Amino acid sequence: MRKLAMVPMVLGSAAAFGAMLATPALAQDGPFNGPRVEALAGYDNVKDGGDGDSEGRSGFAYGGLLGYDIQRGNTVFGVEGEITDATTSTRSYNEIVAGDRLSVDAGRDLYVGGRVGYAISPLALLYAKAGYTNARVESRYNSGATGSSELVDKVNLDGFRLGAGLEYNISPSAFVKGEYRYSHYGKLDDYDIDLDRHQLMAGVGVRF
């Protein structure tokens, strides 16, 4: 009888021990843990940061992102890489000779960096980000003369990006987010401008 009476005690102790072993593993995971893929779209503004009166040029930015996050308690650490493009551009005419045209377009933008976040609930994550960005500026010039060819110049610009945002889970695997980010590319001597970029981006993503 004593042996039979000890069976529930042994089973209960084993279950409690198993729960103790499982608890640290569960604590390390969370709703913001693992790889993610996102589609991005939003407002893009490129301007001369050295000209306080300049409103710059605005357009539509779009692209995609791959990332990976690790959640420990309420704190989330992540890395991410992104590629975007934009419709942001400017056009001018009669710059050098009558009838000519000069266009400058914001081309593809590559970004790699990290983020740190704090889960304010199982659904919402506040985060800040920082990293390296490489943006391409494409200029095209046509003199307008009959038979003239278009001159194309592409410049790749190195800079840094800072940002902050809010991510919100709409299901166990899907989420949406809103983000502001600022990018700075430094002084462009050829154009005599100090290039800044401001973006307001929305995203929808899936976490695996």
Helix (H, G, I), strand (E, B) or coil at 145: coil
pLDDT of 32 above 50: yes
| pLDDT at 161 (0 to 100) | 98
**Amino acid type, 197:** R
| 121-168 pLDDT tens trace | 999 999 999 999 999 988 778 777 776 777 878 889 999 999 999 999
Tell me the CB-side half-sphere exposure of residue 111, using CA atoms within 13 A. 27
pLDDT > 90? residue 84: yes
Q: What pLDDT shows up at residue 59?
A: 96
CATH class held by domain 31-207 = mainly beta
**DSSP state string for 170-207:** SSSSEEEEEEEEEEEEEEETTTTEEEEEEEEEEEEEEE
pLDDT at 42: 98
| Whole-angstrom distance, CA of residue 46 vs CA of residue 195 | 7
Tokens 């995971």 sit on residue: 29
3-state class (DSSP) for residue 30: coil
Predicted TM-score of the model (pTM)? 0.78
* C-alpha span between 10 and 17 (Å, rounded): 10
Q: Report pLDDT for 180.
A: 98
**Residue of higher predicted confidence among 69 and 2:** 69
CA 151 to chain centre: 32
